[in-house]
Structure 1
Amino acid sequence: MKDREKDFVFDGPFKEYCPMYVEYKRNLGYKFGESSFYSLRYMDDFFKKYDMPTLILNKEMVEDYVSRRGTESPKTQHMRMSLIRQFSIFMNSIGFSFYVHPKELIPISNTFTPYIFTREEITRILKVVDNLEYTPWSKRYHMIYPMLFRMLYGCGLRINEALSLKKRDVDLDNGVLTVTKAKNNSSRLVPMSSSLTHYCREYASKMGFDMYGEGYFYPSRDNGKYNNTPVYVKFKHFMKTAGIFTDSEVGPRVHDIRHTFAVHSLEKMVKDGQDIYCALPILCAYLGHRDIESTEKYLRLTEEAYGLIIDSIAPLYDGVFPEVETDA
């Protein structure tokens, strides 16, 4: 990606500050890929039409930039609003006085619904990966995928968090993962169940790992970091083999395993009698969210879990809302 970045030349009014903004975002733990460079360069180019003796972004200029363009999707407009807001915040942090587009004016789409796998579907996927055959072109492929998908479902990790694990990050004695440089540049400890810890030990033994040595827990063929692209491709194949979706369907994503972990975990905590308001902060910390609101929005409940959760908090509302009598 570093070589590709040479192709992105900023020559608008903010050309001096765009590279600084990229570095700022990366230092916060955000990825800044090719599409982000395109968006930033478009923003810089957009303001060439303004005569700026001194650098400024006022309300009129920002509203011009974020205004709806023809038949573009709300998502595209939303991304433009978020970019100009974050850029203004950055510029103000280094001494400017730019207009910051209000966060409450950025529309949030609630149309996306993640796919929540049933426990039976998870079992079918694991059965498929457990029966992968040895292939000469990827000698550890049949061992990596059963371990990887068990960890994704058992710990709710993001795919890049799992693939970035080094061997030293997996404590096989205490059953704890150390997730470093996760989203938002955060780190956290992730305890594993005893059964998953046992599976990790067996996996490490089969792979011939020195767990105190260097290297990735999920190594590529050249012992580097395993790329997430083949995981996405193989996951669709695994689901098709498991009979979860057909070629004519878009199908669930790898990230939906994380959603599924969250839903199944909360459902289990409720079944175990835990207070919902105690369960959510625990899940928030485990998933690596910055705040409880992120967990509440992230957690899309299955119909089964929804009923359990509503039942668990119903006593809290008892007597708060008076019954409304209607004529039969």
Structure 2
Amino acid sequence: MKKILFLFVVAVWASGASAQAPSADALKALQAKEDTLKNLAKSLIVDSLIAGRMRNDSLFVRTLIRSLQIKNSFYYPFDSVRGIGNVYAPDSTFRIFSWTLSLDDFYSRQRGAIQFRTADGSLKLVPLHDFSEFTERPLDSVRTNATWIGAVYYNIVKTEHNGKPYYTLFGFDDNSVRSNKKWIEVLHFNNQGQPVFGGPFFTFQGDSLKRKPQHRFSIEYKKEASALVNYDSDLKVILVDHLVSETEEDDKPYTFIPDGDYEGFKWDKGKWVYINKVFDQKLEDGQAPVPDPLLDDLGNRNEQKLKTSTEKNKTKKKGN
């Protein structure tokens, strides 16, 4: 663990941050807290009783806050705490903890907090409150930490426009008993240093559907499916699996599965600009390899490919 912490501190230092490793006593305390957090995080998932999961969630929050109050805790990775999102910004100015509290098969809420790097190693923490259940239009509004659209984040990408940093968050949402969601959210900070989620960052000029700009982007898909939504650093684009209904019911997202094609977004002048087919774009090193989609250029379905894709998704689900 000390070796892992040392390597992380070196990485932070190399990125330009002024890293200070926890003292020996602090490190010992953090390791003890991590053991407790690891057990509580596991119980959040495996406890069969709603009351038990709620109790473990409350204990997890309190233990996490006490852990982060230890000086220079920002540089401690907590990498043995499984099932909890814990991602650092590429410039190491903050990290986000996020997780899911499942109350039953039909209802879950995301929990989260942003920990900021501070010069003296003290704690600066902003809690995130999941407001998803109180809005019917999550795609069209700027939000604060008090009205956050919850997700468990698995990646952060930094971009810039006019000298200002923007952080694009990629998150998973255990949406319902039938479907999952994945979210793309742009975060920046106002003049008071407070987090601002969203804005008209997602534009669709090249889309035949003529969609208006969106403040965030999401896909919803079948529970048993596996869908890609992430940044490709080689292509410098966000890749998003294109989805189709395996039952030809386009009004039922819980029937959606990937069809082998990819949509995407490219950062341009402070916006994520939509790409209808990523692998139709001409790249710097020539034409990219073309995937094997379920639909042809006219939109006709290949039933055998659709069946094969469904079976692959079932296999992936069993292997997780």
Alignment TM-score, normalising by the size of structure 1: 0.21
Structure with larger Rg: 1
Higher relative contact order (CA 8 A, sep 6+): 1
Alignment TM-score, normalising by the size of structure 2: 0.22
- The structure whose residues are more often strand, as a share, is 2
- The structure whose residues are more often helix, as a share, is 1
